[in-house]
Structure 1
Amino acid sequence: MSNHKQSAQEIVEAIGGKENISAATHCVTRLRFALKDESKVDKEKLESIDVVKGSFSTNGQFQVVIGQGTVNKVYNEMAEQTGIGEASKDDVKSASEKNLNPLQRAVKMLADIFIPILPAIITAGLLLGINNLLTGKGIFFKDSLITVYPQWADLAGIINLIASTAFTFLPVLIGWSAVKRFGGNPLLGIVLGLILVNPALLSAYEYGTAKDIPVWNLFGLEIEKIGYQGQVLPILVASYLLAVIEKFLTKRVPDAIQMLVVPPVTLLITGFASFIAIGPLTFALGNLLTDGVITLFSNFAAVGGLLYGGLYAVLVITGMHHTFLAVDLQLAAAGGTFLWPMLALSNIAQGSSALAMMLVAKDEKQKGLAGTAALSAYLGVTEPAMFGVNLRYRYPFIAAIIASAIGGLVISISGVKAFSIGIGGLPAFLSISKEYWLSFGIGVLIALVVPFVLTFIMAKMKKAK
């Protein structure tokens, strides 16, 4: 029996047999299962299999980490043995949703909307950080770099244009992803997003300082002509309404005239509703949300930092961390987010715990996995470190959340803010406002040293027993 065939057979047995599999697929590195009963999984047996580097359950899916280049071979063997057949990721998602409660469904919905647009947002945050290095005063010289070297000014201008576009047109990105998630035509979602940031409207960024707010007079009803640049809630609600209206009309309008009726009527109704009700109400709600979070951290910074810093990794396990992305974006649009820097410290802490495990582990497979997982976490991707190493042994994970809680406490007291979200982990300083670099650096030092030392000590204590 070939190694891949044997591995596939052992994996199927460990997850409860082929009768426990509703659907299965794979991505670049992982097998993804929708299981009928996850309690039948023998995790100890599963993770003792040579090709398996870790496993975890999230959003109703049970995922087995195998690695690039091998996962497709194991999957093919498994499909041949079980007869499950090739399933798409959407098939697995659909099957897995049956196992979710209402809260998990809501969290998954937000994850499905924001995950596809994360590359654009993170890239924009990174480029904004580079632009700030070029334009910020007191970083390299007393004046900004482009003041000392004017020939760099246009380069900074182009970088700023490229970087700021994703945030300026954020409703367009969300409109595309949200309408697609709600079952509508994503192209109409793009148009809806463009409508909400049309240059003919007063920019949301200028709304607070504008002396005169332009209005439409609609038969005596005055509607403010404001855009929703950088806003999250207005486009989310409007996208849902658009998808509902479009699906309603598509079922009832004859095929021959659907193109002439469905898109125009859908956009007209959603557009009017957005400017008359959805936009103003959700804009106010978004401001209340950001004001509430700011007030909470202003008055109870230590408690907020301790709790969010310590619990962020726990939120990742449940998938609920995606719900805070909308809050981060709202805070960033309002002048800076103090939540995202704690995310970065949590990533670093998980990496440091995994790095310590690389040194104390005797198994060569675990050493290699811990080393690559630590590097990944330091660059902002924590899943390999968390699910492949730290949660497996538990105490490295505990050490990491202790350190990130302490780091969160320190930077929250100092009022550290990021002007945008960006790459987590060590490169995060690019998204941190310059005046907070020293305080953030102290937090990074805590996240680097404390979990490493705690994990190392706990590992020695366990071996001494």
Structure 2
Amino acid sequence: MNHRKVAEQLVRFLGGQNNVVSAAHCATRLRLVLEDESQVDTKAIEELDGVKGAFSSSGQYQIIFGTGTVNKVFAEFAPLAGISLEEEAKTETHGDAAKRKMNPFARFARTLSNIFVPIIPAIVAAGMLMGLLGLMNTYNWVDPESGLFVMLDMFSSASFIILPILIGYSSAKEFGGNVYLGAVIGGIMTHPELLNPWGLADAEPSTLDFFGFGVEMLGYQGTVIPVLLTVYIMSKLEKMLRKVVPNVVDLLLTPFLTVILTGFVALLVVGPAGRALGEGITSVLDVVYGTAGPIAGFIFGGLYSTIVLTGVHHSFHAIEAELLAKAGGNFLLPIWAIANVAQGGATLAVFFRTKNKKTKEIAIPAAVSAFLGITEPAIFGVNLKHRRPFIGAAIGGALGGSYVVFTQVMANGIGLTGIPMFAIAQDPLNYGIAFVIGVAGAFIATLLLGWKEETK
């Protein structure tokens, strides 16, 4: 593959250098913010050597090259498009440029994604430890009173106990506030003076008299929405104070006033309101999960890949994190996981039936990627392009989603889907059965539905 030649052709098919506002790349895709996407020749781009698919989503035009190739293409493409190799835009950061192109709802979803994605490794580690502890307890590998078990239990719960601090840091970074002040606000909301509700459902907190107002001394360990709302207010307050506080005392006065004012807001107003909102969301989901059961799994599993197309799925991490703390497990993630692997099943069906050489080249790595939880190559490179395979994948996702809800499969974390989710599944056996149902259902449905074969 001649990476220089591909980059030169890419610039031309994208409408020229002046049409490229910003560019960056992830592990598999070239991500572009364009001035006018109507100038793009998508068909010509998809015919380029090494291209596995191209699509527009979340304010960005994305071209799938695959691991090991995308970085080499980007290195040649960036200078031709007038983009620095530090992956920055000409006048603004790539993320800001992408957000500017989004509608308000998509921008909100992307903001939540930017906050929670950096935290996922901590929650995944905790979830895997919980799974290990569950196996130890179920099969009596270790005495629950032993030092090893107690220490591992401490390690597994730590991420959720300090979750508001992690969210405070990450959300302050996203909202443009001081990240350490964000962490301090999270610390205030998990202070030892406040009763830790993590694992203490029957505990009764004391009430503090604050100028005639009764403040319930209950902590926010394991919660999500209260600290998100509070740090958003903190960031706005900090920016406002920096505009009015003289520079000579800014370093002293702005953090001082920000922490005091936000602390009062957190414990008196936003925290309790956010807790009620979070509990309301989880209660509604619990009711739907408990009453609709497999029907809810059928609908959610069938629609999830369509939701992915809108970018709204980025906002689900916040809901899932709240479920982990309140419901004792994440019952949404197994549904999403089966919907993802179903895309791989549909892509495999395309591979076995198509006679198009390039589609065959794309289909196998795209299917493997979907089985590992990364669905973009399968969705945009194969299934959505042929339309009916995408419907076949939705059928497989619906069938598998119905099964995981019927068997009440839950996850101990967020972020991992496909094969990696076995590490955090509370019931790996039934998750494995659902995995097979999703893949086989999508494979068979795609073959039965058929599609119009490309001539090229």
Query: Match for residue 446 of structure 1?
Result: 437
Q: Is the 8 A contact 1:198 1:227 kept in 2?
A: yes
1:304 aligns with 2:296: yes
Task: Provide Cα deviations, 1:167-191, integer angstroms capped at 9, x if missing partner.
Answer: 2211111111111111111111111
Secondary structure of 2:22's partner? Answer: strand
Query: Match for residue 146 of structure 1?
Result: 142
Query: Match for residue 260 of structure 2?
Result: 268
Greater Cα shift, 438-447 or 237-246: 438-447
1:131 aligns with 2:133: yes
Secondary structure of 1:145's partner? Answer: coil
Query: Match for residue 93 of structure 2?
Result: 91
* Equivalent residue runs for 1:96-175 within 5 Å: 96-135=98-137, 137=138, 141=139, 144-147=140-143, 154-175=147-168
Cα distance in structure 2, aligned partners of 1:73 and 1:67: 11
With over 3 angstroms needed to count, the CA separation of the structure-2 counterparts of 1:181 and 1:461, relative to structure 1, is closer
Q: Is the 8 A contact 1:348 1:380 kept in 2?
A: yes
Q: CA deviation at 1:296?
A: 2.1
With over 3 angstroms needed to count, the CA separation of the structure-2 counterparts of 1:207 and 1:165, relative to structure 1, is closer
Cα distance in structure 2, aligned partners of 1:261 and 1:160: 41
Query: Match for residue 188 of structure 1?
Result: 181
Cα distance in structure 2, aligned partners of 1:461 and 1:75: 33
Cα distance in structure 2, aligned partners of 1:369 and 1:410: 30
Task: Provide Cα deviations, 1:330-385, integer angstroms capped at 9, x if missing partner.
Answer: 22212233211101111221222233334444456544433233223222222232
1:340 aligns with 2:329: no
Secondary structure of 2:93's partner? Answer: helix
Task: Provide Cα deviations, 1:257-314, integer angstroms capped at 9, x if missing partner.
Answer: 1221111210111111111111111111111111111112222224322221111111
Secondary structure of 1:23's partner? Answer: strand
Query: Match for residue 57 of structure 1?
Result: 56
Letter in 1 for 2:421: A
Task: Give the aligned length.
Answer: 451
Cα distance in structure 1, aligned partners of 2:60 and 2:153: 39
* Equivalent residue runs for 1:421-432 within 5 Å: 421=414, 423-432=416-425
* Equivalent residue runs for 1:61-460 within 5 Å: 61-86=60-85, 87-88=87-88, 91-135=93-137, 137=138, 141=139, 144-147=140-143, 154-205=147-198, 208-210=201-203, 212-335=204-327, 336-362=329-355, 366-421=359-414, 423-434=416-427, 439-458=430-449
Cα distance in structure 1, aligned partners of 2:26 and 2:256: 38
Cα distance in structure 1, aligned partners of 2:405 and 2:439: 18
Q: Is the 8 A contact 1:26 1:75 kept in 2?
A: yes
Cα distance in structure 2, aligned partners of 1:380 and 1:405: 17
Cα distance in structure 1, aligned partners of 2:409 and 2:97: 42
Cα distance in structure 2, aligned partners of 1:422 and 1:22: 30
Q: Is the 8 A contact 1:32 1:92 kept in 2?
A: no
Letter in 2 for 1:397: F
With over 3 angstroms needed to count, the CA separation of the structure-2 counterparts of 1:73 and 1:446, relative to structure 1, is closer
Q: CA deviation at 1:159?
A: 3.5
With over 3 angstroms needed to count, the CA separation of the structure-2 counterparts of 1:24 and 1:97, relative to structure 1, is same
Cα distance in structure 1, aligned partners of 2:416 and 2:29: 23
Cα distance in structure 1, aligned partners of 2:358 and 2:454: 19
Identity %, equivalent residues: 39
Q: Is the 8 A contact 1:123 1:422 kept in 2?
A: no
Greater Cα shift, 43-52 or 14-23: 14-23
Secondary structure of 2:21's partner? Answer: strand
Greater Cα shift, 199-208 or 270-279: 199-208
Query: Match for residue 34 of structure 2?
Result: 35
Letter in 2 for 1:127: L
Q: Is the 8 A contact 2:411 2:425 kept in 1?
A: yes
Q: CA deviation at 1:240?
A: 0.4
With over 3 angstroms needed to count, the CA separation of the structure-2 counterparts of 1:300 and 1:19, relative to structure 1, is same
Extract unaligned runs of 5+ from structure 1: none
Q: CA deviation at 1:34?
A: 0.8
Cα distance in structure 2, aligned partners of 1:391 and 1:155: 49
Cα distance in structure 2, aligned partners of 1:461 and 1:34: 32
Q: CA deviation at 1:422?
A: 5.5
Greater Cα shift, 220-229 or 353-362: 353-362
Secondary structure of 2:55's partner? Answer: strand
Q: CA deviation at 1:229?
A: 1.0
Give TM-score scaled by structure 2 length.
Answer: 0.90
With over 3 angstroms needed to count, the CA separation of the structure-2 counterparts of 1:263 and 1:343, relative to structure 1, is same
Q: CA deviation at 1:68?
A: 3.7
Task: Provide Cα deviations, 1:3-33, integer angstroms capped at 9, x if missing partner.
Answer: 2222112212222232322222334433221
Letter in 1 for 2:88: S
Secondary structure of 1:222's partner? Answer: strand
With over 3 angstroms needed to count, the CA separation of the structure-2 counterparts of 1:390 and 1:163, relative to structure 1, is farther
With over 3 angstroms needed to count, the CA separation of the structure-2 counterparts of 1:350 and 1:158, relative to structure 1, is farther
Task: Provide Cα deviations, 1:45-103, integer angstroms capped at 9, x if missing partner.
Answer: 11110121222222201111223443344334333434344542762222222322221
1:11 aligns with 2:10: yes
Give TM-score scaled by structure 1 length.
Answer: 0.89
